[in-house]
Structure formats: C-alpha cells, structure tokens
C-alpha cells in the first residue's frame, strides 16, 4: 500500500526570503539614522563646585611646574568643561623666568590641556637680573601648560618701568624663551640714564 504523498510547502522558502529582505531593509534604515544619545538629566548644569580651588602640576623630579587656583571652580558634565571664577595661573619652572596671570573668569578644556583666561587679564613676568618685571594686560589669554606656551589674538599692552608697547597679539614660548608681539606694534621707550 502506498501512503499519501508528502506535501511540500512551496511557500515556506518565500516567507523566509521575505522576512530576510524586510530585516535587511530595517537594519539599513537603522544604520542611516544618526545616533543621538539621551541627554535627559545631562543639561548644562554643574555636577560639582569647589570653593577656593588649587591645583599644582609637578615635574618628574617633584618640583612644581605650574599652579592653577580660583575662587570657585564649576565643572559641567555635559561637555566636561570647567569654569573658573577669578582664576590665577602661575608658571614656576626652575632656572626660567616665572610669570603669573589672573583674570575675572576662565575655562579649562575637557582634556585639561588648555586654559582660557577671559576679561581683565593681567600677566606679570619676572625676568632674570635686576630688570623690572614686565606687566601685560589684555582681554583674553590662551595658556597651553604642557607646551609652555601663552598666546592671545586680542590687543595687548606691555609695560616695563616707564616703557610701554602695544600690539594686536602676543605669543610667549617658555621652552624657546621667546616673546613675540604680533601685528601693529607701537611703543614708547623711556631711557632712565
């Protein structure tokens, strides 16, 4: 006796192929949609505040290289930046001229490699020997501590004794021990002899 002939569902491969095509289309659409993280709860609000903040970076021998202080430090989680109220930055490398800068406010980048001093920036640079310190004033100063570079693209005034220089910008390179005044430099030199 011969039993009934097995029934082959010809539609099963078609359903599987259709499902695979739909899944491929959905994955392609998902890949084209830009990912936007859920920032719920991560607005530009401070996650911590430190009063009378002070930090010191040391060289490999344990000597201080530079110091950063502020009346208040406010850290923001959303962009990992740090705002400073009345910041003070000083460079104190042995056998090199020291300088100190202060401002009304400042911002430290997320990686800590850049310090931006803003509004009423004052810099005092002590040179070797008996010369009077150089006093700088500007509205903006970009400090790159690890590279030992300080620069501004804003007007700056330099005073030493009775002499005065003004320029459109400045770059102070501590490693090369150079000071460059940039663009439209004007000066008054007072000879005290």
Range of the domain at 95: 46-147
Residue 77 lies in a domain: yes
* pLDDT at site 185: 82
Residue 55 lies in a domain: yes
As for how many domains the chain has, the answer is: 1
3-state secondary structure of 59: coil
Pick from 42-46, 75-79, 107-111: least confident: 42-46
The answer to whether the pTM exceeds 0.95 is no
* pLDDT at site 146: 84
Q: 181 has which bridge partners? A: 170
**Torsion (CA) 45, 122, 185, 130 in degrees, nearest 10:** -150
Number of H helices and number of E strands within the chain? 1, 14
Residue predicted with more confidence, 46 or 137:
137
Could you tell me what percent of the chain has a pLDDT over 70? Answer: 75
Instruction: Supply 12's token pair.
Output: 């099963």
pLDDT band with cut points at 50, 70 and 90 for residue 46: confident
Residue 94 lies in a domain: yes
Looking up tokens 């084209």 gives 32
Residue predicted with more confidence, 126 or 29:
126
**Torsion (CA) 27, 28, 34, 39 in degrees, nearest 10:** -10
Tens-digit pLDDT profile for residues 93-108: 767 777 889 999 999 8
Reply yes or no on whether the pLDDT at 177 is more than 90: no
pLDDT band with cut points at 50, 70 and 90 for residue 191: low
| CA end-to-end span of the chain | 132
Residue 136 lies in a domain: yes
pLDDT band with cut points at 50, 70 and 90 for residue 71: very high
Q: What is the CATH number of the domain that holds 140?
A: 2.60.450.10
């Amino acid at each position: 006796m011969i039993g009934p002939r097995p029934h082959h569902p010809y539609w099963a491969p078609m359903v599987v192929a259709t499902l695979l095509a739909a899944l491929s289309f959905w994955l392609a659409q998902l890949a084209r949609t830009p990912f936007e993280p859920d920032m719920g709860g991560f607005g530009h609000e401070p996650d911590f505040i430190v009063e009378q903040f002070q930090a010191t970076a040391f060289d490999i021998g344990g000597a201080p290289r530079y110091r950063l202080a502020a009346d208040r430090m406010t850290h923001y989680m959303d962009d990992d930046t740090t705002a400073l109220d009345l910041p003070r930055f000083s460079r104190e490398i042995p056998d090199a001229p020291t300088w100190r800068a202060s401002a009304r406010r400042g911002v430290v980048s997320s990686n800590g490699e850049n310090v931006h001093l803003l509004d009423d920036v004052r810099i005092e640079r002590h040179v070797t020997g008996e010369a009077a310190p150089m006093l700088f004033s500007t509205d903006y100063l970009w400090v790159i501590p690890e590279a030992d570079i300080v620069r501004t693209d804003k007007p700056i005034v330099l005073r030493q004794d009775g002499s005065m220089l003004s320029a459109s910008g400045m770059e102070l390179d501590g490693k090369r021990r150079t000071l460059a005044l940039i663009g439209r430099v004007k000066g008054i030199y007072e000879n005290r002899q």
